[in-house]
Amino acid sequence: MKDNVQIKVIRVKITEDVYLVGSGQIRISNSYDCHVYLIDCGNELVLIDAGSGLETKFIIKNIRKEGFNEKKVSHLLLTHCHADHAGGCKNMKKLTGCKIVCAEAEGRLLEHGKDEEIGLDIAKKSLLYPDDYKFTHCKPDLIIKDRDIIRIGRYIFQAIVVPGHSKASTCYLLDRDGYRILFSSDIVFLGGTIGIGNWPGSSLEEYRKNIWNLSNLQIDALLPGHFLWTLRDGQASLDKAIENLSLAWVPPAWQHNHPHF
């Protein structure tokens, strides 16, 4: 399967040391890709997620366009194992030599999860992916747990596991000299909407139990896996999600027309 739309390499610097190098939504990479973030950690680079694995070359070109050598990507911090985030892990590892980092439950799916387990069968039935899309599995290099610290170059990332969107969806918190950035994946979006749906691992009950992991983080920037982001007052979106999930009725759960989950 190949995307027939011509993709132009475009520079997207979000804030100091943080770049958007993949996104199907704004068409800087394949249309099936989530937002893929690059962080400059000095003599090492980090990627948040890998995209779908289709036309990974565009993500590599975007990395180069920002003036970086893709071979300096030492780690790929995977948020969860849905195809738009994880399908490109094997390609990215092959092209950069990076280590794949993720939570245990997501790592099992990355290595040998069936389409039914990662929700790809439902996604195809819902016409979110074409029938000929195939998820490419690979083995993770490092398994992390909630609140684990990952030191890469000049920066420290903290893993925050929040089951609900998937079995072990993981946010990554970066404190850049007091400016706090949360890569929230599909767990919480701008405005406090959440990624709940009819696929394996998605659970409103798990969301209610685990959303509290995002309280009192005092984040500035919220950089999700899709849609808009914010560079200020990001904690307000987390607090809104926490509030919604504490109420007696079903929260306004993800009213966006999510392209792939």
Phi, psi of 229 (to 5 degrees): -130, 170
Question: Measured between alpha carbons, how far is 196 from 203 in angstroms, rounded to an integer?
Answer: 7
The predicted model scores a pTM of 0.95
Residue 255 confidence class, pLDDT cut points 50, 70, 90: very low
Supply the pLDDT for residue 5: 56
Domain ranges of the chain: 13-244
* Chain-centroid distance, C-alpha 231: 17
- CA angle, 170 as apex, 165 and 174 as ends, to 5°? 140
Choose the CATH number for 13-244 among 3.40.50.720, 3.30.70.260, 3.40.462.40, 3.60.15.10: 3.60.15.10
Residue in this structure with the two tokens 């899309």, named with its chain if needed:
133
Least confident of 6-20, 63-77, 160-174, 212-226: 6-20
Instruction: Quick: pLDDT tens for 107-165.
Output: 999 999 999 999 999 999 999 999 999 999 999 999 999 999 999 999 999 999 999 99
> How confident is the model over 53-94, as pLDDT tens digits?
999 999 999 999 999 999 999 999 999 999 999 999 999 999
